[in-house]
Amino acid sequence: MSLAPSPHSSSVQARGIGDALNLTLRLTALGFVSCVLQLTLVPQISIFGASADLTPLVVASVGFLAGSVPASAFGFAIGLFLDLAFVQTLGISSLLFTLIGYSAGRLRELRAPEAPLTPIALGAGATALALVGYGVIEFMLGVNTPVSFSLLGAICEVTVLNSLIALPVYALVRRCLIGALPEDPRRRTRRARTTRLSPLSRP
């Protein structure tokens, strides 16, 4: 009896490593482009007096598409990048985006919502969590955060604006990652339901 791995299992393992590498490369490129856009172009575009915040949307979209583990790592990396680039307190954005990515990934893994407007709610939630969370952590760290109604208004404006652009951002992220995603959540859900409902699957 031979203990050597079969050619089939070797190819499966190799394909898995290739997929992971492919996803990592794509996420790296996506994260870099998102950060660069967030640093250069997006703040200069004012819509209804507010500027959008791409990064929470991208992190949440990645979490919803790729799962919690890649998304939390992606969120951490993006947060660190932004903290370094904006010369702000290191670790805050990393922590928040890690949690955002992980939460979005867990939502996909546990619920797999199929509603077409899910990305909008996801984007709104991610944006609100990022903005409010940043203020709360700064406050807890003793930084004099100017909490006022105008700040709350600005948070609401950015959240609404991000909700409006959440769907196209999600579509773009999906298009970037479509070839490297572990599994399409909708396809997985449909198959699971079919299996569960089929009389052939009953004992």
Member of 2, 40, 150, 198 binding another protein (CB under 8 A): 40
Residue 159 touching another protein (CB under 8 A):
no
- Using CA atoms, how far residue 118 sits from 29, 60, 131, 184, in Å, is 25, 11, 20, 15
Residue 20 touching another protein (CB under 8 A):
no
Binding part of the chain for another protein, among 5-13, 54-62, 64-72, 112-120 by CB under 8 A, reads: 64-72
The string of DSSP letters for 35-90 reads HHHHHHTGGG--BTTB---HHHHHHHHHHHHH-HHHHHHHHHHHHHHHHHHTT--T
Residue 55 touching another protein (CB under 8 A):
no
24 Cβ contact partners less than 8 Å away, ≥ 6 residues apart? 70
CA distance 102 to 117: 20
Member of 76, 125, 130, 176 binding another protein (CB under 8 A): 76
Q: How far is the CB of 13 from another protein (least distance, A)?
A: 15
Closer residue to another protein in complex, CB, 178/192: 192
Member of 44, 144, 150, 198 binding another protein (CB under 8 A): 44
CA distance 50 to 46: 5
CA neighbor of 69 nearest in space, from 202, 182, 199 = 182
Residue 89 touching another protein (CB under 8 A):
yes
Half-sphere exposure of 179 (CA within 13 A, CB side): 7
Structure tokens at 59: 């992190």
CA neighbor of 65 nearest in space, from 174, 166, 172 = 174
Residue 87 touching another protein (CB under 8 A):
yes
Residue 79 touching another protein (CB under 8 A):
yes
Handedness of CA 84, 85, 89, 95 (dihedral sign): negative
Closer residue to another protein in complex, CB, 68/118: 68
Member of 102, 134, 165, 169 binding another protein (CB under 8 A): 102
Member of 141, 152, 160, 178 binding another protein (CB under 8 A): 141
Which residues contact another protein by CB under 8 A? 36, 39-41, 44-47, 68-69, 72-73, 75-76, 79-80, 83-85, 87, 89-92, 94-95, 98-99, 102, 141
